[in-house]
Amino acid sequence: AAGVIQSPRHLIKEKRETATLKCYPIPRHDTVYWYQQGPGQDPQFLISFYEKMQSDKGSIPDRFSAQQFSDYHSELNMSSLELGDSALYFCASSLSTGSSYEQYFGPGTRLTVT
Amino acid sequence: QKEVEQNSGPLSVPEGAIASLNCTYSDRGSQSFFWYRQYSGKSPELIMSIYSNGDKEDGRFTAQLNKASQYVSLLIRDSQPSDSATYLCAVIRTGTASKLTFGTGTRLQVTL
């Protein structure tokens, strides 16, 4: 079965640079979530989109923005990168209809800021 | 106090034994509960979801939910070395548009 696709898988940036992470949800899934996981920590919710509209916002810095496009893929844009932004960034997708709220995670993008 | 609490472990069980993982949550109105398995450096993998009180079984895994006690657990029968991972409990809290709130995870070690 098709899974969530994320690109790139690894990214190295310097401080103050920008980065763009991409996410392609499971086909027919209409909701996309972004999570950040620092070393030794649990995943923290950043932002979500349902049918291309922002549906919820968590602890996402103002330096970050995201959107969902007409083909349902999503991009997380990160500017003025800081050392503390080094983390694993996961995208997850779900299908909002019915009573299931199961989210399936992509392989993640490991961002290293030097 | 975290909204979702788990014992960080490590929980060590011998191969073939039953591993019991526990999780408590603070928001009494939470409706959806999940267990994810995460290997080091990899993404969380959904292994169980449970929405109503009682037990739910899937293969070697059984999830148990007690909303009155705000408690959810995961039992792994016939534990295998490949089950060694961090198990994350996740909750969808009331009015949060389905975002997951995670516990810090319990590290399980299955020994030979």
pLDDT, tens only, A13-71 = 999 999 999 999 999 998 999 999 999 999 999 999 998 999 999 989 999 999 999 99
pLDDT at position B97, please?
64
Across the interface, whether the CB atoms of B44 and A94 are under 8 A apart is answered: no
Cβ contact A45–B100 (<8 Å): yes
Rounded to the nearest angstrom, the minimum Cα separation between B46 and chain A is 7
**Beta bridge pairs of residue A24:** A5
Cross-chain Cβ contact A42/B96 below 8 Å: no
- Compute the distance between CA of residue B48 and CA of residue B60 in angstroms, rounded to an integer: 11
Interface of B with A in 25-64 (CB under 8 A): 32, 34, 36, 41-46, 49, 51
pLDDT score at A7: 98
Whose CA is closest to A107, among B49, B34, B45? Answer: B45
Distance between CA atoms of residues A15 and A81, nearest Å: 5
Per-residue pLDDT at B8 = 87
Residues of B with CB below 8 A from A107's CB?
Answer: 42-43
Ramachandran region of residue A42, left (φ > 0), alpha (ψ -120 to 50) or beta?
Answer: beta
